[in-house]
């Protein structure tokens, strides 16, 4: 995951290449299966057509899924937008309520780590990103410096 500063107030995290390639492979596979099976729709029941339509729609959502994170230092906000063919969700986190960023090992996965946001108003931290340790350390240090919030290692 790459973290780049676009202006003094906004930074965006781009999606990784592996995520993009994986979505394209999955969506292509489902789209080709749907097209292959579409040739025989006259022999199918309505339930089978609806099931394949639902699977095709889900594959398009996975193909166009995008997670965009904006850091606005003027308004002291981190905004996380998740969208696909249309906006799905938006989460707004006030930077002044962040006590720290924390790197913690994932349960049951010895080589995977979570980058968490520890809020001063919540007991349970928010999961922000996950990956291997060097990647999470680099990303955590960049974000903690950018937001002027400490980084903790678990």
Q: What is the pTM of this model?
A: 0.62
For 4, 59, 87, 107, 128, the CA distances from 113, given in Å and listed in that order, are 21, 28, 28, 9, 11
pLDDT of 27-42, one tens digit each?
777 777 777 666 666 6
Q: Which one has a higher pLDDT value, 55 or 15?
A: 55
First to last CA, the chain: 21
Instruction: Report the alpha-carbon distance of residue 103 to residue 139 in Å, rounded.
Output: 10
pLDDT of 72-124, one tens digit each?
888 989 999 988 878 888 999 999 899 999 999 888 888 889 999 999 888 88
Helix or strand run (H / E) with residue 71: strand 66-72
Structure confidence at residue 41 (pLDDT)? 62
DSSP at 40? T
Structure confidence at residue 150 (pLDDT)? 92
Residue 11 has pLDDT above 90, yes or no: no
For 3, 11, 70, the CA distances from 136, given in Å and listed in that order, are 11, 17, 18
46-64 and 17-38 helices, crossing angle to 10° = 160
For 1, 30, 89, 90, the CA distances from 108, given in Å and listed in that order, are 23, 31, 28, 29
């Amino acid at each position: 995951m790459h973290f780049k500063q676009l202006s003094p107030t906004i930074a965006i995290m781009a999606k990784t290449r592996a995520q993009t390639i994986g979505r394209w492979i999955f969506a292509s596979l489902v789209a080709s299966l749907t097209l292959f099976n579409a040739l025989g729709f006259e022999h199918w029941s309505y339930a089978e057509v609806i099931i394949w339509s639902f699977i095709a729609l889900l594959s398009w959502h996975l193909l166009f899924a995008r997670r965009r994170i904006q850091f606005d230092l003027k308004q002291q906000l981190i905004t996380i937008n998740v969208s696909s063919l249309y906006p799905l969700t938006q989460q707004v986190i006030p930077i002044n309520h962040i006590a720290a960023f924390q790197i913690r090992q994932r349960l049951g996965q010895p080589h995977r780590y979570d980058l968490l946001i520890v809020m001063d108003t919540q007991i349970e931290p928010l999961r922000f990103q996950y990956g291997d340790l060097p990647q999470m350390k680099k990303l955590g240090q960049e974000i903690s410096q950018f937001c002027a919030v400490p980084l903790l290692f678990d």
